[in-house]
């Protein structure tokens, strides 16, 4: 065999191997298996003994490279990919997260969902597609969120971290975006976080000497200033878990210790959903055994008060104290 013929044979083998890999990864699962002859049909090759041996050899090569291909005996031996990076229920969860995020614009959401679907088999993707309902939730119209994330991550990765500049927008009565401030803001990013279906940049404002949260989909013209960020003890002392637990709707306000009267036992559920184990040591059951007093540290904002009002008297505020009080 000449060198040219050898190269042609090698190229054909690589093409066949990669095609078998693509078919099994994209189309096979426990209920959609392929026999060797079915794979040969997909490749347009005759059912010769030599070709069948070649397909079995290809499958063995793919298994050696770590692809979880299982062989099952039915009327003949059939093969399928039995383990993927993500199970179908995990893909469903990822899709739901993308769809529910208000910070991701509609077109980007569609693109991300398609990328997630490609991680499953063809039948899994078709099943998941039947459940997809895009366009029913409010979505940002800002398609720069991913770019904003990239810029802010770059500023955070710098040593020392850099300040970022940006315009911050509000929606006016005419439903058009308008800049909240007359000038561009410059702040030191602390981290990026995803809360209540929205992405936020938590940053330190030297102008206000405090840590604040900025919604990424309301930020435009985001730039890395390449200027070293502020050095503040408030940045080093920042606690994301504490910050999240004290916020209602990420609106700013005064942090206080608030004593709540819980008038029904089942109302501990929404309290625990928000505060979690931070309630430990702060729940005092009343003598009747059916009600309790609970102390929580929160930002005493209109959103928190609205949350309490929505409890229809089943949770009531009975005392407010500055956070320094214990």
Nearest to 258 by CA among 308, 300, 217, 315: 300
Predicted local distance difference test score (pLDDT) of residue 78:
94
Identify the helix (H) or strand (E) that includes residue 127.
helix 122-129
Q: What is the largest CA-CA distance in the chain?
A: 95
- When pLDDT is averaged across residues 38-52 and rounded to a whole number, the result is 93
| Cα–Cα separations (whole angstroms), residue 71 to 2, 153, 200, 294 | 37, 45, 48, 58
Nearest to 215 by CA among 170, 245, 185: 170
CB neighbour burial string for 248-286, b if at least 16 within 10 angstroms, e if fewer: bebeebebbbbbbbbbeeebeeebeebbeeebeeebeee
Predicted local distance difference test score (pLDDT) of residue 290:
87
pLDDT surpasses 50 at 325: no
Q: Position of tokens 């078919």?
A: 23
Q: What is the pLDDT of residues 228-256, one digit of tens each?
A: 999 888 888 887 777 766 666 666 566 78
Please name the residue ranges forming H helices in 158-301: 233-236, 240-246, 268-275
> pLDDT band for position 154 (50/70/90)?
very high
Please name the residue ranges forming H helices in 139-253: 145-157, 233-236, 240-246
Predicted local distance difference test score (pLDDT) of residue 226:
95
CA 92 to chain centre: 12
∠ Cα 165 106 130 (to 5°): 150
Q: Position of tokens 């949260």?
A: 213
């Amino acid at each position: 065999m000449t060198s040219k013929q050898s190269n042609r044979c090698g190229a054909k083998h690589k093409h066949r191997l990669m095609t078998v890999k693509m078919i099994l990864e994209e189309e096979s699962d426990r209920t959609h298996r392929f026999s060797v002859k079915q794979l040969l049909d997909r490749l347009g090759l005759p059912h010769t003994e030599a070709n069948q041996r070649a397909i079995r050899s290809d499958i063995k090569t793919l298994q050696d490279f770590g692809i979880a291909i299982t062989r099952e005996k039915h009327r003949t031996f059939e093969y399928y990919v039995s383990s993927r990076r993500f199970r179908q229920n995990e893909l469903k969860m990822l899709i739901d997260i993308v769809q529910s995020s208000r910070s991701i614009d509609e077109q980007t959401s569609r693109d991300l969902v398609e990328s997630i679907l490609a991680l499953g088999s063809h039948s899994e993707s078709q099943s998941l597609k039947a459940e997809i309902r895009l366009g029913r939730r409010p979505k940002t119209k800002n398609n720069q969120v991913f770019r904003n994330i990239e810029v802010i991550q770059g500023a955070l990765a710098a040593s020392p971290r850099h300040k970022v500049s940006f315009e911050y927008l509000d929606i006016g009565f005419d439903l058009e975006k308008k800049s909240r401030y007359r000038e561009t803001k410059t702040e030191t990013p602390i981290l990026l976080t995803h809360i209540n279906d929205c992405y936020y940049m938590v940053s330190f404002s030297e102008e206000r000497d405090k840590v604040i949260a900025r919604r990424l989909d309301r930020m435009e013209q985001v730039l890395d200033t390449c200027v070293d960020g502020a050095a503040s003890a408030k940045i080093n002392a920042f606690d994301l878990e504490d910050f999240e637990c004290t916020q209602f709707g990420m609106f700013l306000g005064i942090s206080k210790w608030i004593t709540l009267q819980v008038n029904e036992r089942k109302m501990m559920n929404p309290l625990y959903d928000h505060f979690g184990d931070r309630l430990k040591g702060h729940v005092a059951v009343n003598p009747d055994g059916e009600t309790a007093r609970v102390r929580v540290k929160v930002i005493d904002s209109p959103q928190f008060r609205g949350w309490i009002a929505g409890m229809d008297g089943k949770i009531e505020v009975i005392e407010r104290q500055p956070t320094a009080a214990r």
